[in-house]
Structure 1
Amino acid sequence: MTAVPRSFRSGLRRLSSWRGWSLWVLLGVIVVALLVTLVYLAARYEASVAQANVERDVADALSDIRSAMTRNVQELQALQSGRADLDRWQPEAERLLREHRDWVRLERRGPGLELVAEADTPYRPPVFARLGRANSLPEIQQACAGARRISGHAYARSHFVPQPDGLGLELMELCLPHVEAGRLLGFVVATYSLTDLLATHIGPQMGRSQEISFTEADGTRLAIHGLARRGRRVFTAQQLLDLPGNTMVLRMDSWRRSEPDLFPNVLTALVTVMSIALVTVLFTLGHDTRRRLRAEQDLADALAFRKAMEDSLVTGLRARDLQGHTTYVNPAFCQMVGFSPEELLGQGSPAPYWPPERADEYRQRQQVRLAGRNAPPREGFESVFMHKDGTRFPVLIIEAPLINAQGLQTGWMSAVLDISEQRRVEELSRASQERLQATARLATVGEMASLLSHELNQPLAAIASYAHGSMNLLQQNAPPAVELRLAMARIAEQADRAGRVIKSVHDFVRRRDQAREPVSARELVDAVLPLVNLQARKLRVRVEIRMADGLPSVLCDRTMVEQVLLNLARNAMQAMDDAHVAEPELVLEVRATTAGEGGRRWLAFSVADVGPGVAEEVKGQLFTPFFTTKVEGMGLGLSLCRTVVEQHGGSLVFEPNLPQGTIFRFTLPAQPDLKA
């Protein structure tokens, strides 16, 4: 039988899957369409019912208003029946105004519309008090002219009258002629408030749920009654209020808080619920199918990813069950020991890669591990494995419990690292470290020689100067003994200083803790002052010392701090001499300061000159070792000064000495509770 190609089988599965999904989609579309149609028809039905209710309400309201206005006309006719005098007419009018809140004024006028008597409603201030009644006379004339023409009551078009409270009223005039035996005796004029007309003759329940208004034919609102809660949909109905002489539109707006009910009856609700349930089941099944297919695809991808990761690892992986049998090895482990997976899987102890001379030791260690009495260290442990060809090599083994999906331990997982190359690199690193230490010792010797040659220049120069002076004194016929003795003492002093410099530089290079002692600022300055004055006289520099009394002592290495002062002073004098300053001046100042937490006291030493200053391109490298601007300089003086000051806990900085020159300033911590 001919085998079916794999690609053809895959295509058939995809086609079957596509057909299955098509049926599900078609069924879902039909159910959704039926549900949408049912909901749409139910919504239309609810909307038509809501609109019919609004139209019925506006018709009932219009009927109530017409009946009330007809009764009002009848009561006005009773008011003017007979030839009642004014004394009787006035109380009757006031009674009618108390009974009818929609009237704001009643008037009795003569045949020529002259005002005979009037009465205002007791429920509000007189509405014509602000502008007067004359402004409304055209509307009265219109209503009365119509009433005389038709021999009955007539209305005028509504008009707006402002009120003192900033609002206003929309009023409508009603004129009723008084005719006896065919002769016109006068008119009765009643003034309606359209807002009160609506409020009086519209039911309170209707006003709470709807908004009712009088409008003109073009939609202009004349009066509004009711406070409706606006919703997303409004239903509107209008009815024409045709009065003799005037026509208005009664409009009613009803807002729904939400869309019309979707379920007007139980059957529709039942069908809708069943349809929703069916759609939910369809979507749930479809979602579950998609999740299952996605999970299968993810599982296949995870297996492929795991396989690719295991094949790319250089770390050997080995799994053993609780009986010590090997259940899994990765390609890296097989390559490490030289055995194939078939030769390793299922093997117990001794393992083929155990050296025979260590088999007993490994067996005992494995029994302890499997018994659970000794947990493996997290950092792993070192061991020795044997390659298939008999070669031994060191390994680092990191073991962890193998836990299944139920949380139970089923064995041990081991990560095995071949550390042969690491051991070789460690040996090379150890040898290289020894060579570096030897090189560092040679560099220290060179550094010491450089520092000694730099620091010994000053005492040796002083010794040479005193020796030349002594020789000049000896060439005299009678050399003065006192001056020779002083010169010899200076030579001895500078020779002793040179010895101290050698010892301090030696300790400094070897980073030893120098012996520090409390020294007053005066002693430090006096120690270097002879050498400073010696060079100052040679360069014709005026030296000024500024030092307050009562300065505290400093705990320092006396020789190194004196060397810092001397280096800064000599550099300042050389800078002024190289710049050919006309009047060179050197100021050495010492003062006490307070800074830092707890108000710690410091001594600030400053050396100021009037030289050319420090150039901008030099400022960033001024304290760099072996950087110098002098032709014969070594570039170690300022670097050594800053290192010495920082070792004492202070700092060395420089700043311009306005208007000309530079100030070098360094600080040293003061000795507590000690006076200079």
Structure 2
Amino acid sequence: MTREPTPPPQRPREATTWWKRWWRKLPPSRQDRFATLGPLLAVLLFLCAIVVAIAYLRYEEIDREQEAVTRDVEYAQQRLRLRLLERQEQLMRLAREVDNKEISTEEFEFQAESLISQFPELIAINWVDARRNILASYASPSAPLSAQRQPGATLAANETDGSFELARDLRQPIYSRPMGEEPRLATLMLQVPLSEQGRFAGTVMGEYAIDGLMRFGVPPEIMSRYAVALMDDRERVLSGSLQSPSAVQRLLPWSAPPLEHEVPVSPVGNGLLLKAQGYRTSQDIVGNGFFWVIGALSALTVWMLLGTWRHTRRRVQAQQALIAETNFRRAMENSMLTGMRALDLQGRISYVNPAFCFMTGWTEPELVGRTAPFPYWPEEEYEYLTSRLDDELNGRSTPGGFEVRVQRRDGTIFDARMYVSPLIDPNQNQTGWMTSMTDITEPKRIREELSASYERFTTVLESLDSAVSVAPLGSNEVLFANKLYRQWFGTRGHGHRRLLDLASSQPNPVPDDGDAVDAFAGMPTDALTDAGAENAEVFVEDLGRWLEVRTRYLTWVDGRLAQMVISSDITTRRNAEIQAAQQAERAQTASRLITMGEMASSVAHELNQPLTAISNYCNGMISRVNEQRISTEELLAALDKTARQAQRAGQIIQRIRSFVKRSEPNPTPSDVAQMVNNAIELADIELRRQQVRLTPYVAARLPSLMVDPILIEQVLINLLKNAGEAIAHANRSQSERYIELRVGPRREADQDVVEFSVRDTGSGVPDEMIERIYEAFYSTKSGGMGIGLKLCRSIVESHHGRMQVKNIYNGESVQGCCFSFWIPVVSRLKSETAIQGSDPRR
């Protein structure tokens, strides 16, 4: 019975099937990429393996060569060490004989000569006592002059480089550092100490030629294989030679540094170093050639694979760009709001986009292939639309398009504009006509509303009682002028320009609000050649009218920068302001007359004193002259006193006369201290009568104020008089009847001001009356007229200042009142006065 063969395992087949399924799922672009990257990776891996193998072998060779250099240098160092130790032992034996006094100086020189002749590296042997005096010496004939010393000479401190002192202190052989300015003639000194009964007795000093140590101490086989040299601790080459870096050749660009090794020469120490470099005079041409051939072949293979991969990528990118362009054009056609319709040369619809179907309500299959009349034509428009289609097929359509009415599928009608252009194929042959259709129902409605709005706007501007004109900057052309402007100035632009010139000649007032925005903010300053004031009041002689001129900058419909001027007739208001100013002047004069009338008794009493004094002086002088009992000096003294009293009376009368004299407001630079003194002179008469003390304080170096001094004195006199009356009505005791007048600088609303304050000890102002004390004809006094504080506040505000009042409390009881006002240091009264003075009717 035969047995059926066992089926093979299915794992490899399943793995192969899985691999095929995975490969087939990949897109063609990804398959091309993997097919290109596989060989490229294989070549790169092969190149890396070759490079790693060559580098490994090369580094192994370098390590073996470095070990050989190290071993040979250590061997040469041992040979040098043994030679130095042998010479050291011989010098120590010679020193012991000297210590034991077994030899004389002649025998010392004889043994030194035999040692030097036997060992060429020794060039001099000296016997030096403890005082550095040379007792015996022998030097080789070939020794340098610095090593040839005569007996009886003394060693200098710098000749032993400190080795003599170390041998004396340590009592053991000491080697010096290599000495000598010329590296090739450098010597090495050995100091063997001598002792006599435990005391230092000098040294046996042996000198070695470093060049001799090199020639006789280093084995010849070492010097034949390497560049050997002896160096000091400053890396100066004292004997031998080393290769320069440029002379060392490398097999590969990334080869290790040249083979070298250095060790200190014992027992000398780090002062003398033995260094050797391996010779490398040829390159491994076979190894280098093999490496570069493999590298060149691998690079060529990689370049070819990269070229194939780039070509494949370009082909894939072109395919993707074509797909993306097709999808983009299809998406653009589907998303655009303009309806597109294509007709062939026979007038049959060949293409419509979704927007056209959405506008008409018909689907693409229902429209493609249809001929006129089309289903979206209104029945009443057949004749007109047929003629338009005939013009379209014969190329007679207007470039600006034409308006048509289109009927939707549900029967509604909308307005549309159609544009027609020829449809050209890639061979430059016309295959039909392309028509674009735009729904203009809403724009048409907006245009009609704008036309109606423009008519209403024009009607409103023509009915305004202000003249409105618009002109470009720097031009006399009038872009717009309403009816009143045409009545006043005609249709030309000279009136617009004249109003701007008059407005620009007026000073620009400084706004009170610190946050006010400049009228020209955001405008191009290079174009604002005629920048007048934002608001100005001008007088036009031809019209005989006062006009308020307001200017604004705007961008005209054509993009040009233009200036609009609005002129309003303010003649009636101006006349009313002039009359109000005249009434205010009369009220101020009347207030001063009332004040002086109330102070008449005090003024009469004040004048009575100098007049009585004058009368007494005159009567006394008459009596004494009649009796002839007065000398000339006494007569002159009496006349001088009489003149001073008369002058005092005249000053009082002149001050009163200037105070009550009516005059036009005349702002001038005024001294604050002088104004305060003038006011005190007049007010102090009444205050003394009421037994009230006045304590003034005026700060030093106050600036001058641009004010009318008479008006400011009027305010101060009124406040001082009211303060005295308040104290008198409060029945204060004599110690409490006083007034403080303080004048000083202050910072208010970001400007420098001068503040005047009057503090009294009266009964204060009731809280419910503080808000009304500045009202006209309102007074807290039983016989008051109620115009004093009103005029005071008007005067202060006319000088652009502020006035305020507050009670002074001590706990809950009122202890007095404080009236204060301030005047700005930088005033605008001068410019405003100049504006008023320009009025031809004042």
Tell me: higher relative CO, structure 1 or 2? Use CA pairs within 8 A at least 6 residues apart. Answer: 1
**Band the TM-score falls in, shorter-chain normalisation:** 0.3 to 0.5
Task: Tell me the TM-score normalized by structure 2.
Answer: 0.38
Structure 1 or 2, whichever has the larger Rg, is 2
Task: Tell me the TM-score normalized by structure 1.
Answer: 0.45
